[in-house]
Amino acid sequence: MSFTIDLEGRRALVTGAGQGVGLGIARTLAQAGAVVAVNDIRAAQADIVVDELRTAGYKADALPFDVTDWAQVSAAIDGYGGVDILVNNAGNAGAEGSMLPSDFLASDPAEWGAFFAVNLFGVMYCTRAALPSMIEAGWGRVVTIVSDAGRYGTAKVAPYAAAKAGAAGFCRSIAREMGRHAITVNCVSLSTIETPTTARPAAGTAEEEEARRARLRPYVIRRRGTPEDVAGLVAFLSSSHASWITGQTYAVNGGFTFSL
């Protein structure tokens, strides 16, 4: 007897699925049988992922929109006819680019908004647009990718950490509201994942190798995570196997932190 995650017949929207963690999640949900709506702010990138999935024999559609724009979010999800599974993965600073670590007192308040727009309001917008069809169906899954920066606290990324912590708190609140509709709402908290935006050149000199080791020292499993490390848990939480799990935050972090 084998254990399988079967998402056949489910429609799953993954935001920020054009690369990295989102792409890994989209692939895994498609492999589990879901029709995957691939979101990215770059329409061309969403099309590339859809072509890859369809070529592999999976079911996928491109659904490009900017998660920070409520009008775009609601029009896209309503026009798609709703979804059964929402994975809020789009993050960082969105179209504004990646975060550059800095002391909070050196940060510019004018730059904080980009982090909240994607990591908090983007999650709220997509969840607000996706819930009505889930309620109508009497079944739904919302999985939000948050960060150990907000769960545990990481120096020099305070605006990002605050936005991610806000998303986790929002999801706990929505979990309490949605349980009566058989809709679960959970978070997956990540430490550093190897993606195109976090990739570093291979260590060369002794100094570079020591710097690499120092970065990995806080991790019990001494490597960076991969999108595949994340995708399996997201697929499980998206399935019927996780029907009695809601309001939780699960760390996928190589042992960077422990919690009871």
**Tokens describing residue 74:** 């609601």
pLDDT at 97: 59
**Distance from C-alpha of 186 to C-alpha of 82, rounded to nearest angstrom:** 19
**Catalytic machinery residues:** 160
pTM of structure: 0.94
pLDDT at 211: 76
pLDDT tens sequence for the chain (260 residues): 789 999 999 999 999 999 999 999 999 999 999 999 999 999 999 999 999 999 999 999 999 999 999 999 999 999 999 999 999 999 987 666 566 789 999 999 999 999 999 999 999 999 999 999 999 999 999 999 999 999 999 999 999 999 999 999 999 999 999 999 999 999 999 999 987 666 566 666 877 778 778 888 888 998 989 999 999 999 999 999 999 999 999 999 999 989 76
CATH (residue range 11-252): 3.40.50.720
Question: What is d(CA 156, CA 59) in angstroms, rounded to the nearest whole number?
Answer: 41
* pLDDT in the model for residue 44: 98
Residue 218: CB partners within 8 Å, gap ≥ 6? 256
pLDDT reported for residue 197: 63
Instruction: Determine contact, residues 233/29, Cβ cutoff 8 Å.
Output: no
Tokens of 156: 């020099």
pLDDT at 73: 98
Cα separation, 234 vs 195, in Å, equals: 17
> What burial letters (b/e) apply to 71-82, b meaning 16+ CB within 10 Å?
ebbbebbeebeb
Residue type for position 36:
V
| pLDDT score, position 36 | 99
CA nearest neighbour of 131 among 101, 174, 96: 174
- Check residue 200 and give its pLDDT: 60
Domain range annotation of the chain:
11-252
